[in-house]
Structures are given as C-alpha cells and as structure tokens.
C-alpha cells in the first residue's frame, strides 16, 4: 500500500491557513481521497491539554524553554498516536502547523536557536518530514487586520505583537531558503488564487 501524503500549512497568525485547509478538504472530498486533518498544538487528548496551557494568557511567566518543550511534547504525542499510523495506512494527513512553526516561533523569533529546535523537532517526530509544506506568506499588518474580525481575542502568542510576528515571518522565510519542500505562497491574494497554486503543487506530487 502506498503511504499517504503528509501536507502541512504554516504562516504567521492570521495568514489564512484555515480557509486554505477547508478548500483542500473540499477538493479531497470531491476526489474521494481519504484524509485526516489535525492541528498543532493539539489533535490528541494529551495534546489538547498542552494546548490549553500554551495559549492561556494567564501563563505569562512561562519560560521560553518550557514553552519550546511543551510544543515538542504535544508534537511527539500527535506524531506517534495519529500522524504516523494514518500515513502508514495510506491516509493523507493535512496538518495545521507542524515543526516549522517551532523553528520560526521558538527557534528564530524567541532566539532559542536552530540547532536546538532542529534537534528537538527530529526527536519529537522520529524524523518524520512533511512531503510538502505551504508557507502562506503575508505582511503582519494585513494578517492582524484579518485576525481582528475573529472571535475570542488574542491568545498568549498573538499578544506578543506585530514586531514578534515580523520576526516569525523572517524565520519562516529563512527556513524556506534551505528547505526545498517548503512552497512559499503570497497570501495577500484572493483565496481561490492561492488555492489554485496549492492544488497544482499537490497534484504535481501525486502524478
């Protein structure tokens, strides 16, 4: 049996990942393809508990190392419990964020360093790499305007402000320069134009 395709979506907060994820789900449904959608941090019982800790605004004393290790703990859980079994059954996996988020947010923007985040990313995932990663690249100001329409206010990470999001964006773009699997997509375009590019890249992969 062929392994499933492992597709991840990345980008700063408010880059439009959810819209693209939904369009991809609809496309997979139309084609009768089997898939699951998961999100990080979260996607498992343990991971959702870790997510609550990570995003809770009251946890303002959390250290950068504690934050990094919690993201990796949630990732270790979802990789072993959900992602790897699905891929080996031939089910495609669409993941809303994966380890590139840690490289960009914790490694680059929080200055924990690529050596450390690369090492932990590898350990947490048993060296499971996405087949393709879509980086939805957008200016933080535009992303912020999009986010302000959402319910629930800002979470602990979003509260770190625009200059933080700018750093995260730089971190992602630097990563994309060395990682061939990362497709950088200009996310300041209409949703259907963005999706067209995503769809083409995925079918190139499956042909």
Q: How far is the CB of 158 from ligand TYD (least distance, A)?
A: 6
State yes or no: residue 102 binds ligand TYD (CB under 6 A).
Answer: yes
Pick from 177, 173, 175, 205: nearest CA to 186? 173
| Contact set for ligand TYD, span 76-95 (CB under 6 A) | none
Residues in the chain: 207
Per-residue CA distances from 188 to 91, 108, 131, 140, 146 (Å): 31, 23, 24, 11, 11
State yes or no: residue 137 binds ligand TYD (CB under 6 A).
Answer: no
Structure tokens at 115: 């050596």
State yes or no: residue 158 binds ligand TYD (CB under 6 A).
Answer: yes
Q: How far is the CB of 71 from ligand TYD (least distance, A)?
A: 4
CB of 34 or CB of 186, closer to ligand TYD: 186
Q: Are 178 and 132 in contact (CB under 8 A)?
A: no
State yes or no: residue 13 binds ligand TYD (CB under 6 A).
Answer: yes
Return d(Cα 34, Cα 4) in angstroms, integer.
9
Q: How far is the CB of 165 from ligand TYD (least distance, A)?
A: 9
Q: Are 201 and 183 in contact (CB under 8 A)?
A: yes
Site track 27-56 with ligand TYD (rule: CB under 6 A), x = hit = ------------xxx-------------x-
Q: Are 180 and 205 in contact (CB under 8 A)?
A: no
Positions touching ligand TYD (CB under 6 A) are 13, 17, 39-41, 55, 71, 96-97, 101-102, 105-106, 155, 157-158
């Amino acid at each position: 049996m062929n392994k499933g395709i492992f597709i991840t979506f990345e980008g700063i907060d408010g880059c439009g990942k959810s819209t693209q994820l939904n369009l991809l789900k609809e496309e997979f449904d139309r084609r009768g393809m089997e898939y699951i959608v998961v999100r990080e941090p979260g996607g498992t019982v343990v991971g959702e508990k870790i997510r609550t800790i990570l995003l809770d605004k009251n946890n303002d004393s959390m250290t950068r190392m504690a934050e990094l290790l919690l993201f990796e703990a949630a990732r270790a859980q979802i990789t072993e419990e959900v992602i790897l079994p699905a891929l080996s059954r031939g089910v495609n996996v669409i993941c809303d964020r994966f380890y590139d988020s840690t490289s960009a947010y914790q490694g680059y923007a929080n200055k924990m360093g690529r050596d450390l985040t690369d090492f932990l990313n590898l350990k947490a995932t048993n060296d499971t790499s996405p087949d393709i990663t879509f980086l939805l690249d957008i200016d933080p100001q535009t992303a912020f305007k999009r986010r302000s329409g959402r319910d629930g206010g800002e979470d602990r990470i979003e509260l770190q402000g625009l200059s933080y999001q700018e750093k995260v964006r730089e971190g992602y773009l630097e990563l994309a320069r060395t990682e061939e699997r990362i497709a950088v997509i200009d996310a300041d375009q209409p949703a259907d134009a963005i999706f067209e590019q995503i769809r083409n890249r995925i079918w190139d992969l499956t042909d």
